[in-house]
């Protein structure tokens, strides 16, 4: 099929509803469509309960979608049982087999493929080397640290050379320092193996630093897909703007000179991002990053500074504008005279204000 060439995975109109114990239902996936390029690193990002893990489990076959279609390399797989899919998963809890050694854990999946013994042994060694655990093949999982268990889970899944590797919040159980190291490690593994990775996370920094593409989830829907930088610079909804990085969401009111921020005034033409949609009655929320808000100390200024705090080399300020507050961030060097309780003037950097869907 020409349409699916270069695609590892194609998901079309997948929905999944779960009953709740109270007798209601939760729409975990609501008509979700997504295409994942072959050999790419896709991150599914969203708050907990947004459906991203359900989608991952539908791809793995651990959950059956109510409707929709999932194609792996152009072949429909949503009716194929889990043990026959050329897709493997790294579970959040690692799910290592406690009664087997590290090497036996990795060999398990290869034995299921009925590979000859020497082939299994060779691939086990190869996988252990890939995750740098060659000396620990004889250990039991409970004799390993969390980070090492994580690597075994990775090696076990990668040994099967899946078309797509699914990672369900793989780093959430690790402490911060270890997590940073594993992020780099995962990125390296993905580039070395050329296997398509789909990683689920609620950590936007993780998504930004690892993904070739990010799909942002909210309430069972994918609200935006794109390269991390693109999603950051051009958020389409207020949810995306606020969830990825920080954003001021400005409520706009119609004014004589165009859209106005209540208590501040009409937004000047040069402040708008060049590709921002136009403001109208149905699109009345604008997003602007704190680093694009410029404030300057002015005793006669219109706006009181509610809070001014230095964090690292930056000043983080919260300014009262009308009924609302606007956050600003700027280098400490250009923050002279800005103190809590003082007054200031406030402007937006050129090209920084963008209309988003509420």
Q: Which residues bind another protein (CB under 8 A)?
A: 60-62, 81-84, 87-89, 91-93, 95-99, 108-109, 112-113, 156-157, 160
Distance CA 55, CA 247 (A): 28
Distance CA 272, CA 348 (A): 9
Question: Closer CB to another protein, residue 92 or residue 284?
Answer: 92
**Tokens found for residue 282:** 């149905």
Whose structure tokens read 């606007």? 326
**Tokens found for residue 327:** 């956050």
Question: Closer CB to another protein, residue 87 or residue 103?
Answer: 87
CB of 82 vs another protein, minimal distance in Å: 5
Question: Closer CB to another protein, residue 10 or residue 53?
Answer: 53
Question: Closer CB to another protein, residue 84 or residue 177?
Answer: 84
CB of 304 vs another protein, minimal distance in Å: 53
Distance CA 162, CA 122 (A): 17
CB of 189 vs another protein, minimal distance in Å: 18
Question: Closer CB to another protein, residue 83 or residue 275?
Answer: 83
Distance CA 217, CA 215 (A): 6
CB of 99 vs another protein, minimal distance in Å: 5
Cα–Cα distances in Å, from 18 out to 1, 24, 173, 201? 33, 9, 26, 21
CA atoms within 13 A on the CB side of 132: 7
CB of 60 vs another protein, minimal distance in Å: 6
């Amino acid at each position: 099929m020409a349409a699916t060439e270069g695609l590892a995975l194609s998901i079309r109109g997948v929905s999944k509803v779960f009953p709740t114990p109270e007798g209601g239902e939760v729409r975990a996936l609501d008509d979700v469509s997504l295409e994942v390029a072959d050999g790419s690193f896709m991150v599914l990002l969203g708050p907990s309960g947004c459906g991203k893990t359900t989608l991952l489990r539908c791809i793995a076959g651990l959950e059956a979608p109510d409707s929709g279609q999932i194609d792996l390399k152009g072949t429909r797989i949503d009716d194929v049982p889990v043990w026959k899919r050329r897709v493997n998963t790294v579970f959040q809890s690692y799910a290592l087999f406690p009664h087997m050694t590290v090497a036996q854990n990795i060999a398990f999946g290869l034995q299921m493929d009925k590979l000859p013994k020497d082939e299994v042994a060779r691939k086990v060694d190869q996988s252990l080397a890939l995750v740098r655990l060659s000396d620990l093949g004889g250990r039991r999982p409970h004799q390993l640290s969390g980070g090492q268990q994580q690597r075994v889970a990775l090696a076990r899944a990668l040994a099967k050379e899946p078309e797509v590797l699914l990672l369900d919040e793989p780093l959430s159980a690790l402490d911060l320092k270890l997590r940073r190291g594993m992020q780099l490690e995962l990125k390296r593994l993905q580039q070395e193996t050329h296997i398509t990775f789909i990683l689920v996370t609620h950590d936007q920094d993780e998504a930004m630093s690892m993904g070739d593409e990010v799909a942002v989830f909210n309430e069972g829907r994918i609200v935006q897909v794109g390269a991390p930088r693109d999603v950051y610079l051009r958020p389409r909804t207020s949810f995306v703007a606020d969830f990825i990085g920080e954003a001021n969401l400005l409520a706009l009111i119609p004014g004589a000179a165009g859209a106005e921020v209540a208590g501040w005034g009409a937004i000047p033409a040069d402040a708008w991002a060049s590709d921002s949609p136009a403001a109208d009655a149905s699109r009345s929320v604008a997003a602007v990053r704190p680093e694009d808000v410029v404030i300057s100390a002015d005793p006669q200024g219109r706006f009181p500074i509610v809070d001014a705090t230095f964090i690292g080399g930056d000043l983080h300020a919260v300014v009262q504008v009308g009924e609302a507050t606007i956050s600003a961030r700027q280098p400490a060097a250009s923050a002279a005279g800005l103190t809590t309780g003082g007054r200031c003037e406030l402007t937006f950097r050129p090209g920084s204000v963008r209309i988003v869907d509420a």
